[in-house]
Amino acid sequence: MLAAPLEESALTARPLKARGRIGIATLGVLLAAGVASCGGARQDASEPSGNFPVSIVSADFPSKQTLAQNAHLTLAIANSGDKEIPNLAITIFTTANDNPGSDETTTKVATGTGSTTTEDLPTVQGSFSIRSTQQGLAIPFRPVWILEQGYPKYVGEAASAGAEAAQTDTFAFGALAAHETKRMVWSVTPVQGGTYTVHYRVAAGLEGKAKAVTADGSVPEGEFVVRISTAPPQTEVNGAGQVVPISPNSVIGEAGSKQQKSELKSSGGTP
């Protein structure tokens, strides 16, 4: 004999109905939160509109590098205006030169014109990576430099800075007070030989409403052309047991100085 179906009684109806009301109320709260996060207030509502004058105080990155030898890219950006910059943001991206054997080693600063836009920036690829020409790759981007863990940082500080933003290869450093300067450093290690151009661009915010401009109204930006050699570095072990690059003056023989050759002869050695 089959058991009778469970029927609602006065004792079970009230808790079930109460739980139903609680569930509906909870669902309403969750839906409201979802609307607020997805379609509510604009994320750029708090970013002020206008131009914010900046100047590139210094920009350094070695123009000649060697595989696996660490290098530092440093930028110093000053707020040259009278208003606080809402969020200093720096976009960095890398392109491969058409002529890998080029010896060009120039640095350009503040060469842009017009307002800051992202239309001519590449899609997200990693600030120090380039697009590979090899067909069929699941991930078409290949690193030229590896960004060391914990970087970028402010120069002279141990803590990391410059949170990666959702924008294309952009690092956000927060507000910059009027007439103050921030100095940032990226520690990188080259892993691919050739000649490459590292571009950088400065913005005053992440949403495009606050625009960084130079004194002449152009976009504050610049680039480094870098040649990465694949030849292994010439090293030696010094008296302290450390591996260090060989100095030309330390080589005895045809590459030695006249004084070194003379000292070697006087000691009975053969130059």
The pLDDT tens digits of the residues spanning 159-187 come to 999 877 765 689 999 999 999 999 999 99
* Strand 181-190 with 145-147, pairing: antiparallel
Residue in the block written with tokens 């480094």: 224
Which one, of 229, 190, 150, lies nearest residue 69 by Cα? 190
Token pair listed for 204: 């005053």
For residues 13-19, give the mean pLDDT: 45
Residues 202 and 110 reside in one and the same domain:
yes
What average pLDDT does the chain have? 76
For residues 106-118, give the mean pLDDT: 41
Residues 163 and 59 reside in one and the same domain:
yes
Residues 139 and 103 reside in one and the same domain:
yes
Residues 114 and 242 reside in one and the same domain:
no
- Per-residue three-class SS string for 233-267: CCEEECCCCCEEECCHHHCCCCCCCHHHHHHHHHC
What is the domain range of residue 88?
50-229
Total number of domains constituting the chain:
2
CA angle 153, 157, 160 (to 5 degrees): 35
Residues 158 and 262 reside in one and the same domain:
no
Give pLDDT, residue 262. 61
Which one, of 199, 186, 192, lies nearest residue 107 by Cα? 199
Q: Is residue 4 part of a domain?
A: no
Residues 171 and 219 reside in one and the same domain:
yes
Which one, of 208, 203, 142, lies nearest residue 171 by Cα? 203
- Cβ(207)–Cβ(44) below 8 Å: yes
Residues 141 and 248 reside in one and the same domain:
no
Residues 182 and 241 reside in one and the same domain:
no
Token pair listed for 271: 């130059």
Residues 70 and 176 reside in one and the same domain:
yes
Residues 113 and 242 reside in one and the same domain:
no
Q: Is residue 111 part of a domain?
A: yes
Can you tell me the distance from the alpha carbon of 110 to that of 112, in angstroms, rounded to the nearest whole number?
A: 6
CA 266 and chain centroid, separation: 55
Residues 246 and 177 reside in one and the same domain:
no
For residue 82, what is the domain's CATH number?
A: 2.60.40.10
Q: How many residues does the chain have?
A: 271
Q: Is residue 5 part of a domain?
A: no
For residues 180-209, give the mean pLDDT: 96
